[in-house]
Each structure stands twice: as C-alpha cells, then as structure tokens.
C-alpha cells in the first residue's frame, strides 16, 4: 500500500469519527428529554425518568436497542421542540424474553402526543406485530397535543390506529402489558386498558377519560384527581386496572414477574450456528468507507468487517458486477446479502460499468438471488450505496425498466425477513429496488454517511436551477452567470440538507442512525426479533429471468 493510500484511509477514518462524534453529541442532547430541570422535577415527584424506567426494566448486562432517537429532530420548533417525539421505543430483554418497550417521556410536554409521537408508536406496534414480540407500555402521558390535534386525530395512521392495533395484537396472541406510571388521559386511557393486563402506581398514576378540570367544565362536578382516577379508584372500585404498585420500581418488578410466566411461541426457523468474529475488525469500516459520497471503495472489504470469517459465498460473482450477492453468516445467522458495489467494474464483454449504478445484468442477478433466498428461507440483508438505475439510450434499448421492474417485483413479494442498512447513497428507484422503507423491511438503519433522495444534490440542484432560470427568462428577466451560480448554491444547500440521515430519521424513514461499528450487532438483534415472527409462503417460483 502506497503512502498516499495510507493517508487517504486515515483521512477517511478521521472524517467518519467526526460524523459519529456529532451523531453521539446530538443523541446525548436528545436523551435529556425536556431538559435537566424537568428531569429533576420528575425525580422530586418520586418518579423515575422514562430512560431510568427502561434501564431498570431490562435484564442486567443486556443492551437496549433504541429506535427512533432522532424522531422529530429539528421539527416542532414553534412549540419548543419535541425531543425523540416524547416517547422511547426499542428492543430489550425482560426476564429473558425479547420485548418491544414503549415508554412515554413526561418531561417532554407532559408526554403529550405530537403527530410524530403517534407515528413512532405505530412503528413500535408494527415491529411487534411483524415479529410476534410482547409489548410493554410504560405510560405517562397527557394525551394528544391539542394545538396539533388535526394532524394526529382522525386519519388512518393517526392516534386511533394505536388502539386498533392493541385489539389486533390481542387477537393474534401477542402479549401486551402496561404500567400506568403517571397521567393517562382521554383517548390515551384506552392504550393501557386495551392491553392484556395493567398495573397502576399508587399516588402518581391516574387514568380517566376526562380530568378534574374538564369534568367540572362538562358536567359541573368537582372531584380531585385521585378520587376520579387514582390507583384505589381504578383497581378497587371500577376494576379498570389489575394491580396496584407502591412506586415505579415495584411496578417494573411486577412487569418482570409477569413476563416470566409467558409461554413460548413457534419460531420462524431461521438458521443460526456458533458465531465467528469477522476477518477484519469493525474499526476498519471507518477507514474503508469514504465520507465523500462520490468516491469509490471496495465493498467486499466492508463485508469482511461485517460477516463471520470464512462464511462468504459469492453468487454469480463475475456477472452483474455492480451488485454483489452473497450467502454469509452474521453473528452465526445465515443471511443472503444484496449490496451495491461502489467500484468501477469491467464486464466479461470488456465494458466498463459505473459503481453504485444498477445495470440490467445486475438487476437480473439480484432478482434471481432474492427468489432463491426466499425458497431456502434465508433472510435478506440489503446494503445501500446506490445512485439509481442506468439511464441513456443504450440502457433503455436493453430494457432497463423491465429488468428493474423484475427486481422491484422480487423485493415486493419477498416473504423472508428483510433488513436494510443505508451506508451511503440511496437515490430514486435504486432505493426501491434495494428495499427502501416503502418495501417493508423488518428493520431499516442508516450510517451517518447515508443520503436518501430522488437524486444526488448536485444533479437535483442543476435541474431545479435550470427550471427557475427558464421561468425568470420567460418573464423577460436577464439572469447572468453570477446570479445563476448564487441560485445554484442556495438550491443545492437546501436540497443537501433534505438528503441527510437526520432528515430521514426525523421522519422515521429509517429506524435509527447507527455507528457503523455496531452494524453487526443491530443486524443480529433484528434477526433475533425476526425469528420470533412467522414467514409466509413465497409464491413466486425460481424462474430464469
């Protein structure tokens, strides 16, 4: 390796570490919820914070895999912001059982539901239903954020869908346990009571359809909160709740005890053997992956940092080279990998193909590989760094739309668990073909280098600049070169900000932004979750495409 190459690799590592540092700093700020003052106020009430509750609940020496930390990032600023959308969701082990945990953060607007709070809760329920995971709700919420009620109340994917999902999960036999650890008001009262069992914390927990102020306004009755819907009322008089806990820790202990008695469900039957560490350490990822989305790199070297050593078996290795397809094992799990190859490659015909672009032969190979993995019940891992499908006369004459459609069809009808990780670019129809959010991946993660958009920022800015310049010229206005350059700069900056992983994570287009070095761990826990779910029969036979 030349000195120049060594310098480039170290520069890659430094730039990647800077991105990871920024990500972690932003994450630390979000984890403060409503701020240190409100966290202290909750402690003064004798309550644990939402994150303390989750930490206490999960088994010792196990990790909590949080999703949606950056939900609502940079949004709702006119209302003072809503860190993590005011709710914590993620996977954790409770009494040895993998569970979906949902915890309201009462330090953020008293745990009120913003539009993205609803979307995030629905995502948690979706994960639980797809993977047949028990759900534990730690409830502490003031209900819908009224100034934005029109954006969360009435539609199919709004607040009410959560209670519909409660009912659906109950009918599917998916256990749901709730601990009412603070306010539980109005429509939000249905969530814990539509769970299978509910615990309420004495003195700090309360549940009612209307609080004391609304009761007085509606019917003129004066009643205090405890008498209206406290633990004694709802457990001993109404019978709404099933257990009384003396404090937060007692409630969480009861949840853990209840989880111990839950029976097992049939597994999906995904294959797993003893794990073997990768050939290269995860730190090598930081050196091999360039931050600049236009630079090529050796994708196969990245795979050697992610998969168990010696497990890679490349499928059609020298055909359709701009997509890599391979069988492998990740933490012992058998997987099929579909990854965009970012190197410029030469075909068997001696033609050069651009890295990160999907050509007809690559789409053809990927389509068949996806079908074979479905027949063999092997979960699929999609690693995105794609700028799209090849364009131009030659590609169109070769039937690129037809071949691309076949790949999209295979991804759409795939029934084995699909997990997507966006490493770099994920543009246009390439995002669709590589199992973007619209194609139901069980889980979807992004590296800090990820970019998600219809097309790259430079190309998009050129197109938009041309359109605006043309419009101005039609109005009889002269647009000199300097003005065009200034306009291009403004458009590019705005467009680039919309392609960032934070923009995507804020809107739940990805489940989480992760440190590349933790990719293997996140894929493994995702496969563990997926192994609890059912796999439908794959109805499309393997055909020669």
State pLDDT tens for residues 19-29.
999 999 999 99
pTM of the model: 0.94
pLDDT at site 282: 95
pLDDT tens for 244-254 read 999 999 999 99
| Phi, then psi, of 338 in degrees rounded to 5 | -120, 110
- Quote the CA–CA distance of 477 and 485 in Å, as a whole number: 16
User: Max alpha carbon distance in the chain (Å)?
Assistant: 85
pLDDT tens for 400-423 read 999 999 999 999 999 999 999 999
Q: Which two tokens stand for residue 462?
A: 């050129």
Residue 64 per-residue DSSP state? -
Is 362 a residue whose pLDDT tops 70? Answer: yes
pLDDT at site 541: 55
Contact 488, 467 (CB under 8 A): no
Q: At what angle do helices 115-131 and 519-530 cross, to 10 degrees?
A: 60
| Phi, then psi, of 3 in degrees rounded to 5 | -60, -35
pLDDT tens for 442-484 read 999 999 999 999 877 777 777 778 888 788 778 887 777 787 7
Report the run of H or E that residue 512 belongs to, with start and end. Answer: strand 512-513
């Amino acid at each position: 390796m030349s000195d120049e190459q060594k310098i480039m690799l170290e520069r890659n590592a430094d730039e990647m570490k800077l991105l990871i540092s920024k990500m972690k700093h932003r994450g630390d700020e979000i984890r403060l919820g409503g701020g240190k003052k409100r966290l202290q106020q909750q402690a003064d009430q004798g309550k644990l914070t939402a994150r303390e509750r989750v930490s206490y609940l999960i088994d010792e020496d196990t990790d909590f895999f949080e999703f949606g930390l950056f939900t609502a990032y940079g949004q709702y600023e006119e209302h003072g912001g809503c860190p993590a959308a005011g709710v914590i969701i993620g996977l954790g082990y409770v009494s040895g059982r993998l569970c979906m945990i949902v915890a309201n953060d009462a330090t953020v607007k008293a745990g009120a539901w913003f539009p993205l709070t609803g979307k995030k809760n629905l995502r948690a329920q979706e994960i639980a239903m797809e993977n047949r995971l028990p759900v534990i709700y730690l409830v502490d919420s003031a209900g819908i954020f009224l100034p934005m009620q029109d954006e969360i109340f009435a539609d199919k994917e709004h607040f009410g869908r959560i209670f519909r999902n409660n009912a659906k999960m109950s009918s599917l036999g998916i256990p749901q346990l709730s601990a009412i650890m603070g306010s539980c008001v109005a429509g939000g009262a249905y969530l814990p009571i539509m769970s299978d069992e509910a615990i309420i914390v004495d003195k700090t927990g309360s549940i009612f359809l209307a609080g004391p102020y609304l009761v007085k306004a509606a019917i003129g009755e004066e009643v205090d909160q405890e008498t209206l819907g406290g633990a004694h009322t709802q457990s001993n008089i109404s019978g709404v709740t099933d257990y009384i806990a003396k404090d937060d820790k007692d409630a969480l202990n009861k949840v853990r005890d209840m989880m111990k008695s839950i029976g097992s469900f049939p597994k999906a039957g995904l294959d797993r053997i003893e794990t073997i560490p990768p050939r290269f350490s995860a730190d090598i990822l930081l050196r091999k992956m360039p931050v600049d989305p236009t630079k090529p790199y050796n994708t196969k070297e990245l795979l050697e940092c992610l998969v168990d050593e010696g497990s890679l078996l490349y499928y059609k290795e020298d055909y359709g080279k701009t997509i890599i397809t391979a069988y492998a094992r990740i933490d012992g799990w058998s997987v099929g990998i579909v990854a965009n190859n970012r190197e410029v490659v030469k075909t068997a015909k001696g033609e050069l193909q651009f890295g990160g672009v999907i050509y007809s032969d690559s789409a053809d190979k990927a389509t068949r590989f996806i079908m074979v993995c479905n027949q063999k019940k092997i979960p699929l891992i999609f690693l995105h760094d794609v700028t799209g499908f090849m364009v131009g006369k030659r590609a169109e004459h070769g039937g690129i739309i037809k071949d691309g459609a076949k790949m999209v069809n295979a991804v759409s009808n795939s029934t084995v668990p699909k997990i997507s990780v966006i490493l770099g670019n994920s543009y246009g129809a390439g995002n669709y073909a590589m199992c973007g959010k619209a194609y139901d991946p069980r889980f979807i993660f992004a590296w800090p280098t990820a970019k998600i958009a219809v097309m790259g920022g430079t190309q998009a800015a050129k197109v938009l600049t041309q359109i605006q310049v043309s419009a101005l010229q039609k109005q009889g206005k002269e647009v000199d070169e300097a003005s065009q350059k200034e306009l291009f700069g403004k458009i590019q900056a705005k467009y680039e900000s919309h392609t960032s992983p934070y923009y995507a994570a804020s809107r739940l287009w990805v489940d989480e932004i992760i440190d590349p070095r933790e990719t293997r761990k996140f894929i493994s826990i995702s496969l563990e979750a997926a192994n609890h779910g059912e796999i439908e029969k794959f109805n499309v036979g393997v055909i020669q495409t």
